[in-house]
Amino acid sequence: MLILGGGINGAGVALDAAARGWRVALIDKGDFAAGTSSASSKLIHGGLRYLERGHVGLVYEALRERRWLGRAAPHLVRPLPFVLPYYQSGRLRPWQWRLGLTVYDLLAGADNLKRSRPLPAPQLRRLAPTLAPAGLLGGAAYYDALMDDARLCLAVVQTAVAHGACVANYVEAVAFEMAGGTIAGVQARDRVSGDTLVIRARQVVNAAGPWVDAVCRLAGDAAGPHLQPTKGVHVILPDCGLPAAFLLLHPRDGRVFFVIPWMGKTLLGTTDTVTPEGPDALAVAPEEIAYLRDGWAHYFPVHASIPVLGSFAGLRPLIRAELGATPSARTREYRVFTSPSGLVSVAGGKYTTFRAMAEDIVNLLGERLGRTSRCRTQRLLLHGTPSAPWEAFRKDATAKLTADLGLPDDVAGRLVDRYGVCVDDVARYLGTPAERERLVEGEPELRGELAYQRAHEMAVFPADHVLRRTRVGLYCPQAGLGSG
């Protein structure tokens, strides 16, 4: 099987199939997770807001997968406390939020990270003194999980390789090889060397995210478009010392948006708009930044003038909706469809549920290909995950880096969080003072990491290092982006 697309959907399918013993190849015309899969809200969550739309099944599945990811990649997925304030002028009343949280707890069941609890107004004001006090009725606390989306996708790719998959970034499918009217493989071009090659496969899977329709057209499929992507923009601010993440309703239109402590910074997002922009020419507009800043200033007026460090945008590859459906109301479920040429494509989906989606897709392909092997990913640990309990491992590994290399605690801790058990291999690239220099003053990323990322993580261009292997380029332009 050949998979086109190295985002989380393609990576998940590659891992599931490889773990079953299939012969699997995966290519992407860019870097792994270079599109939507590195431009998310950095959350592994059930999706509390989806309950309002009646998507109970999706929330139940996501909560189950949230627990699996916390076990499978604890260095990249960690519990995150949330605060949900109730305001007198809010679109939803407190009783509606309380009902939603009760259902959320019930759906999580034994997989719950921690039960939600009420926060009376005085307690909430003590917890978050910079939160706007006018009309504050109280609130609630609950838990979801925070992730590093680009590195989580990379860990899934690396785990697929450990199970025998062959993967390559910067290899683009430029045409399909046909046999009797059915796809038998692809003609591909190495975008680094310029070389061309033919990859033959019994089955080709189109998991190209917002490029799904473009790949379908390349295969001669005239039935589309299958997608109606929506644009999501996030803004990065300096650390504001917030005690938790916040789920808020935007004062302009009542949409849910998040304020999230992330990477020592504050992340605001997201927008959800239909756009004519394609995935290869996506830019953040000033009015999109203004929208997020308006929401931020409404709830945290003390920090209204804080500078924007950076921003990023992604396209959600959502299934084309019926006329009249608003972007936020569109389903996050996925759909699998087959072109006349035999190309199997996947559209839609939610980052948190990628594993379950991949299991369903490989089951479907197994029926087509006469393969009856069962899914094995439910119990897999992803690349970098220690066998020891995470907190004990993190404490010991951080202390060892500090003692052996003289690294500050913040640098050592961030290395362990980024690489997990592979941090010992990374340490071999940090032997000299020059290798232990910071990429950017005040940030914990080190120059020696770049050599490790080139040798072991298929980083090719500067952007691969600073936007995806680390995230420092998102909020420190001086890190240097380069091409790619």
Would you list the domain boundaries of the chain?
2-36+150-227+330-379, 78-146+228-318, 390-479
User: Which class would CATH give 2-36+150-227+330-379?
Assistant: alpha beta
| Residue position matching structure tokens 């790949």 | 215
> Region 265-294: what's the mean pLDDT?
95
Contacts of 27 (CB under 8 A, 6+ apart): 2, 3, 4, 6, 167, 168, 169, 171, 172, 173, 188, 199
- Of 70-79, 105-114, 219-228, 319-328, least confident by mean pLDDT is 319-328
The pTM is what? 0.96
> Region 73-77: what's the mean pLDDT?
98
Share of the chain above pLDDT 70, in %: 96
- Of 75-89, 126-140, 314-328, least confident by mean pLDDT is 314-328
pLDDT beyond 70 at 329: no
Q: Tell me, what's the pLDDT at 482?
A: 41
Q: Tell me, what's the pLDDT at 326?
A: 59
Contacts of 398 (CB under 8 A, 6+ apart): 409, 412, 413, 416
Q: Beta partners for 311? A: 235
pLDDT beyond 60 at 370: yes
The b-or-e profile of 29-40 (16+ CB within 10 A means b, else e) is bbbbbbbbbbbb
Q: Tell me, what's the pLDDT at 224?
A: 77
pLDDT beyond 80 at 471: yes
> Region 316-327: what's the mean pLDDT?
68
Question: Is the dihedral angle over the CA atoms 323, 324, 327, 330 positive or is it negative?
Answer: negative
3-state secondary structure of 239: coil
Q: Tell me, what's the pLDDT at 321?
A: 67
| Mean per-residue pLDDT of the chain | 94
Q: Which CATH superfamily groups domain 78-146+228-318? A: D-Amino Acid Oxidase, subunit A, domain 2 (3.30.9.10)
Q: Tell me, what's the pLDDT at 95?
A: 96
3-state secondary structure of 212: helix
Q: Tell me, what's the pLDDT at 136?
A: 97
